[in-house]
Every structure is written in C-alpha cells, then in structure tokens.
Structure 1
C-alpha cells in the first residue's frame, strides 16, 4: 500500500501514536525535575550533583547513541527503531524507582538516555516521511506537543504521585505505559519502507564522517544546529529548575509547584507549539524565509517575559482552589507560549533541506545538539551557579542563576538571524526540493 500525498486516516493515526510516544518520552525525561527535592533529601546530594544526574550524564549517553540510531533508522526503517527504543526507556524508567543508591539511579537514568536516543530523531523523520512539505510544520507541531504535554503530566502528575506515594512510585507508574505504546506502534502502524531500500538502485549510504561533512556544508544547517543548542540550554535549565524555584523563592509545596509548572506552563507551551506550526506553514507558502522568521520572532518576544518571571518580587496574584499563584508566574505563562517557537520550525526547516535518505541523520545532529548542550549543560550550569550564589544569597541564588541563563535566548536569536538569509537563498536556488516518500511501499 502506498502513502498518498494527501494524508489519510492511517497517516493521522500514525502521527497520533508517535505523538503519544513522544509525550512519554518527555514525561520520563522531565520527571526528574519535579523529584529533585525528595531525591536530594534521600541521597544527600548537592544541586551540582542533581545537575550531573539530570544533565551531563543523560546528555552524554543520549548523544553517543543518537546519531548511530538515527543512521540505523534511515537504513532499516523508523518504526522498528522507535518502538524498541520506547520499550527500552520505559523499562529503565521503572528501574529508577527501585534504585537503592544514587549510583544505581544514575545507571538507570543512563539506560533511559540510551533508549530515548532512538526515539526523537527517527520520530521526527517519520513524520516528515508521512506528510507533504506544505503540511510538515503543522504535523511536526502535533508531534512536538509531546514536550509540553509531557511537562503537564510529568511535572503535574509526577508531583502529585510523589507528594502522596513517594518519588519511587512516581517513576514506576509513569514508566509503565511506554511499554504498551511501543508495542502498539510496532503492531498497528504502517510506515514508509526505509529510504535506503526504496531507492536501493540510486542511493548508497556514505561513510558516516562523509555524511556529517556534507550535512554541514548545506547553507544554514550549522546556524540551525547552533540555535537548537543555545535555546535548549535555556529551555532545559528553566524546565528542570522551575519547580525548585517556585518552592524555594515563592514558598510553594512540591505538589503546587508541579501543578503550576506542569499544567499551567505546559498548557502555554501546548498552544504555542500548535500556533507556531500552523503559522509557519501558512507564512512559508508566501515566503520560505518565514520558516526561520517565525522562530526568530517567538524567541525575541519570549526574552523579556522570562526575565520578568525570575526577577519579579514575591507576591501572590490569586488562588486556584488552595493553590497560590505567584504574580511572577503570570509572566511564565506568556514565556511558555512563545518560548517554544524555535523548535518545531527549525525541525521543519531541516526536513526541507535534506532528502529522506539523510533526514534522520540530520535531525539526529540537531537533537544531539539540543541534548548535549541543553540537557547536558543547562541543568548543570544552573546547579553550579545556584551553589555559587547560595554563599551570599541563600535560596535566592537559584533565582539569579535562572535569570542569567536567559542570555542564551539572545544568542539563539542571533543564530536564527544568521540562518534566515542562507536558508531562503538555498531553497530558492534548489531545483528539486525534497519530498516525502509518497510513493513508497509501507511496512
């Protein structure tokens, strides 16, 4: 059976399953953020130690395995790699709940990182295979809802479970559904055959070093990758430490901090992700440069609201039931809406730059940049700054550590401005733009 250029219900079903998997990808990844305080209390570790656990350790192993698994998905097919990776990271998340020591928790988180390395880039490449270019940013925005919905359930539900049943039970309960989703994808979704098999007579897979060099020779790709890295440092730092900031600086409980950061912040990110994807597809039909212009606009708007969130004085705006909503948190709602605008359009831009035979590998490099710098550097950097500021500022050290990381969003805006003319000129001079595998047989 072929996949038509006009998406069918099978196309949308595949996107739905991939989006559900991506939600749990982020739930399992972000769960550590709401569990920082109880894990610190049980194992007696510093903020820097937490930064190493949730940041560098995760990012290094994710990065090591990200490109090889993306390359594998270009060769044997996205579906198998995504399904087995999902099952693997879900099992390792459950193992986190049984960790008897901090070392065992680190090992389990390494397992989560290796599993998730095979989920993100192949999922994004598979969505690009399934949808035509003019609908790709919208489809990718649906997939990328996983990050914001993952925040809602990972932080909100995770905080509630930890408050009532302990942090270990939170890992176990939230890790289990991913096993089912991996099997669901494997058994019920039809996906395009691997590009290497469909085009076996025309395409030969080059050595990985040659492939990487050729990818970076493409105009604008380097600047897009640098954007992902710098914006992700700020994004992951804020996402990881925001619940602790609300606890330390605004006096919220673990449950209330998880509810606000997860549900309220995640809702803003959800609408922001959908909005930027739809807006990008519409504007890019008029001028291809809007594929980069939309994330540049959103990032610039987000910067002052991020600063206001961290620097606004303590005070309560209103209550939602018994949950106090700090005045500063109102700025976070706006930031979470615009602060997500850089990711989906950049992924869409990559899908327009490269053919299907290189797409997962190119996407893997972008995601690896986000992970190595964002997940690896972001939480650790804030942990170190917080420990350093704590000598003179106490608990308020975290506030100013987080405010300082907003400068990375300024840097991301500069990189996007560098990418925009190069991207537009490259596509305008391209004679055969890449298209999805619309005529590929399904597997």
Structure 2
C-alpha cells in the first residue's frame, strides 16, 4: 500500500512544487520569447506576417504535441524527474541556438527543437503534483504550478528589456541570455528532487494502461474541460504572440524598452493574480458546487473578451493596455481548474498520459493554430487594410473561439457534478 499523500512533509511538497513551477516558467520564457522579439526578427530577416505566424505557432507545436504522448507513456513508467531534467536541457539549448540562426530555415528548425524538448515538461510535472497533493487541494496546487506561465512571460519581457536597453544588443543576444540559465536549473532539479511514490490503488496498478485511457476518453467532462481551454487558448496564444506587433504598429513612436517592462510587470502581478485566484476560488467554490471548476472560467471570460475587443479599436495607449490586461487576468483563471480536472478525472495509472492527451488537443489546435491563424489572416488583410488594420481585422476573428469556449465551459459546469461523483464511486 502506498503511503498517503498527507504523509509527505509540507515543506518538501512545496519545494518540489516550487522547482516544477520554475521549470514551467522557463518553459514559457523559451516558448513566448519569439513573439516578444517578433518586430526585431521581422525587420532583420525580412519576414512577412505569415512566416512569423508559423514560427510562433505551427513550427513549435507540430512535434511538441506529437512527442508529448510517447514521453507521457515513459513518464507513467519511469523516472519523471529524469525526463523533466533532460527535456529542460534540450529546450533551453535550442533556445540559445536560436540566437545563432542565420536565416529563416535555421530559426524554424530551432523552434521545432524547442518544441520537442518542451514536450517532456508538463505531463510528468502534472503527474508528480497529483501524487503529492490530494484532490481537495489539487486545483490550488495546479494554479501555483501554472504561475510559471505569467512569471515565465514576465521574465521573458524583462530579460528582453534589460538586454536591449544597453543599445548594442539585439534579439540574438536575448535568445542566448534566456536559454542558457535553463541548463543550470536542470542540474539543480536533478540533485535536489527525488522521484515521488506513485499514488495508485492495487486495482489501478493491475489495470492495463489502454483500459485506463479508454475509460478516460469516455468521460464527457474531460472532453468539456479540454475543449473549453483549447478554444480560449487558441485565441489567447494568438493575442500573446502578436500583442507586441500590435502595440508597435498602433503606437509607432512608443519606447520599446518601456513597453517590455510594462508587459513584464503586468504578467508578473495581475496575470499571476488571475492564475492563482482561479485555483483558490475553484477549490473553495467547488466544495459546495463541483460545477464551479468550469463555471468560473466561463464567467471570467465574459468580462475579459469584451475588454479585449474594445482595446484593439482604441487609439488610447492606456485603454489598449487595460483591455489586453483584463483579458489576460480573466483568462488566467482557467489554468488551475482545467489542470486539476485533467488529473482528478483520470485513473491514477495514466495521469501523465491524461495531461499529454489534454495537451495534444490543446496545443495542436491552440498553440499551433492560434498565432499561425492570425499571422495568415493579417498578411491577407494587409493588402487592403494596411499593417495595423490588417492585424486588427485578424484579431476580430478571435471573438468566435472565445464565445465557443464560454459555451463549452458552461455546458461542462452542468455535467461536472455527475462525472466527479462517478469518479468518487469508482463507477465510470
């Protein structure tokens, strides 16, 4: 019989969670840095919006999504800490190599390499967190882990501002500067975190993996949470990937370094607050109303999406910043609840696989499609509307996936109490 989750000392549990969150932060530094540096890369390499869209989305996501499944299969059987360590070294190395790319093809190959490496980050980490924290604390723990997203994006913005503020540095120096520290973090993780005991009942240990996966994929609310976050993330990845281009085009005389610092601070404070609050509120509200894990994201997006649509049509810098910020804050609320449900609705012997399948759908459609979709549309509209309005027209199309996401979360909130009760009774 495995020791209960509560027997692991709190201090150590939260140290492991901190380390995994730092790894996740580096995941997002290296993932989003291409979008932050987009205006500089476009100018030096002479790229169009469609080419930039492929770099920000498709080239990264194509093998990131595919490799996640075999990596998760390994993570459900072998050391998850070793897998995360090797993956971090791989994606950090390819980020640094991106700074040495001499042309578009070389940069695209480096982005593919970053995607392959990052495939081994989140599924094993989610599985470890599920083994260290009981179900009643899981959304909060997952929200704390998801703080790696805003903190990672914050560090990417601030690192870019710091390096570029010297006047002599360029986007290549930023790539190298944010890539190399990940290797040092990988060494620290390997030597300070032990592989945790897997929390499986005897019946789960004997159940064939394919049976568990089939059971998972028959759970309606698992699909509801996946599609809810996928549709919203399709739009959000597009927004994050293209917001620097938008602000540079709308406010052409803006101080780039100042803008990088502003976005860095927003991500590290307000966006982080939204991510943390989403997990805490969902866990507390979910005690009396299990549907809250899906209802909270739906309600939050109803506030953020209109603010974004107002922002992209405003000539006021501060109105634009406020609208983009409110969208980020409200969108952050879905990470903790969705990540938690991916684990809670999953049989314990396929938790890493649950996250991998979750992310396969999410990232193939959202991360691969969102920035690419806006890039292609923007390039199409530029001919008749110009650089700025072409991008604005592309942004307007994002209202559709946002609305569909709200509807999907709303449906899931009604069904979720039934599916969670079936899990509790072991009667799926």
If the TM-score is normalised by the length of the shorter chain, which range does it land in?
A: over 0.9
1:307 to 309, 318, 329: 309
What is residue 272 of structure 2 aligned with on the other side? 270
What is residue 321 of structure 1 aligned with on the other side? none
Q: Offset of 1:199 from its aligned partner?
A: 5.3
What is residue 63 of structure 1 aligned with on the other side? 65
Distance 1:433 1:271 in 2: 35
Distance 2:411 2:3 in 1: 39
2:337 to 315, 321, 345: 345
Quickly say closer, same or farther: Cα 1:359–1:24, change in 2 above 3 A.
same
What is residue 238 of structure 1 aligned with on the other side? 239
What is residue 216 of structure 2 aligned with on the other side? 215
1:168 is aligned to 2:172: yes
Query: Residues 418-437 of structure 1 correspond to what in structure 2 (within 5 A)?
Result: 418-432=411-425
Q: Offset of 1:253 from its aligned partner?
A: 3.6
1:327 to 319, 329, 335: 319
**3-state secondary structure, aligned to 1:366:** helix
Q: Contact 1:302/1:338 (CA < 8 Å) preserved in 2?
A: yes
Distance 1:368 1:201 in 2: 24
2:358 to 366, 389, 403: 366
What is residue 12 of structure 2 aligned with on the other side? 10
TM-score (normalised: structure 2):
0.93
1:49 is aligned to 2:41: no
What is residue 248 of structure 1 aligned with on the other side? 249
2:381 to 380, 389, 392: 389
What is residue 319 of structure 1 aligned with on the other side? none
2:84 to 78, 82, 85: 82
**3-state secondary structure, aligned to 2:379:** helix
Quickly say closer, same or farther: Cα 1:111–1:200, change in 2 above 3 A.
farther
Distance 2:267 2:381 in 1: 26
Q: Offset of 1:274 from its aligned partner?
A: 0.7
1:154-203 deviations in Å (ceiling 9; x for gaps): 1232244245311111111101111111111111112323568x859942
2:119 to 117, 134, 141: 117
Q: Offset of 1:138 from its aligned partner?
A: 0.9
Distance 2:238 2:312 in 1: 13
1:36-89 deviations in Å (ceiling 9; x for gaps): 111112221111001111111111110110111112111113212111111111
Q: Contact 2:28/2:152 (CA < 8 Å) preserved in 1?
A: yes
Distance 1:266 1:247 in 2: 21
What is residue 192 of structure 1 aligned with on the other side? 196
Quickly say closer, same or farther: Cα 1:126–1:202, change in 2 above 3 A.
closer
**3-state secondary structure, aligned to 1:339:** helix
Quickly say closer, same or farther: Cα 1:263–1:370, change in 2 above 3 A.
farther
Distance 1:409 1:355 in 2: 30
What is residue 398 of structure 2 aligned with on the other side? 405
Q: Contact 1:228/1:367 (CA < 8 Å) preserved in 2?
A: no
Distance 1:28 1:431 in 2: 38
Distance 1:201 1:34 in 2: 44
Q: After the TM superposition, which of the residue ranges 16-25 and 252-261 deviates more from structure 2? A: 252-261
**3-state secondary structure, aligned to 1:5:** helix
Distance 1:406 1:156 in 2: 30
What is residue 225 of structure 2 aligned with on the other side? 224
| Aligned residue pairs, count | 421
1:206 is aligned to 2:199: no
Distance 1:135 1:199 in 2: 23
1:182 to 183, 186, 189: 186
Unaligned runs of 5+ in 2: none
TM-score (normalised: structure 1):
0.90
Q: Offset of 1:153 from its aligned partner?
A: 1.1
Distance 1:195 1:129 in 2: 5
Quickly say closer, same or farther: Cα 1:23–1:41, change in 2 above 3 A.
same
